[in-house]
Amino acid sequence: MPVINAMEAGGSNRCAFLDTIASSEIGASMLALTDNGYNVLVGSTPGNLLTFPSYVAHPNILNAKFDSTAAGRYQELHMNAVNYTKSLKLADFGPLSQDKIALEQIKECGALAHIDAGNFAQALALVAHIWASFPGAGYGQHENTVASLQAAYVAAGGTLAA
């Protein structure tokens, strides 16, 4: 579960969508082995956990293999984290801040209304370019299927449109 509560996030579907991103980007086993994914660095695996020790700021650690500074539950890039921390007036890169950054990214893609309405596939398509593990992201990394992500969303308490 994200740290942000459903009321602050704007509804339980939004929290379920955040859980879906984390499940896709981090995976259930690493979510369980870490601080719910909030301290995970890009390139981490269950057998080789790569984490960062402080939430004061995004760690800005480059993983040369992936040419990426992605970190946290939603694998935010350093540049994006810095920009969103300023624009959202966040104090740190802690769990609540990471949740707020991800929700802002979803909002900017125009996907919140689809999430609220339970139009999961439409919301996923609108944000796929942000998260490398989403279908159609095009980053050359493993992409999960819409069906597996929708199952994760429902398991996290998300509701689908009738």
Please list the active-site residues. 25
| Structure letter (DSSP) for residue 110 | T
How far is it, in rounded angstroms, from Cα 38 to Cα 26?
9
Cα separation values, 145 from 35, 75, 88, 124, 128, Å: 26, 19, 32, 11, 11
How far is it, in rounded angstroms, from Cα 100 to Cα 153?
18
